[in-house]
Structure 1
Amino acid sequence: MDFIYNNPMVVGFVVLLLGFVFFMYLFIRRTVTGFREGVQNGRQ
């Protein structure tokens, strides 16, 4: 287990992966809310 924490490549990869997942979450959430607003504006 010490190998994982002491290896900068593994730590960097995990940080990159978490950042990518967070970015994708924000991107998808923004897309869905924009789509919802577009549908509601289209009905009016």
Structure 2
Amino acid sequence: MQYSAYYGVLGLPRTATQDEVRHAYRKLALNYHPDVSRQANGEDRFKELR
């Protein structure tokens, strides 16, 4: 498994609170979910979030 900077993927600073992390994840997940996203790389981006 490849390491990724999870805060960077979410676009948050490392000092983000748990609520900020949860909110950022849900927002991005809704945008990039394969059933919703019309972008070509939407599925790959969603997998990166998980």
**Do both proteins adopt the same fold according to a TM-score greater than 0.5, normalized to the shorter chain?**
no
TM range (shorter): 0.3 to 0.5
- More contact order relative to length (CA 8 Å, sep ≥ 6): 2
- The answer to which structure has the higher helix fraction is 1
- TM-score in terms of structure 2 length: 0.38
Select the structure of larger CA radius of gyration: 1
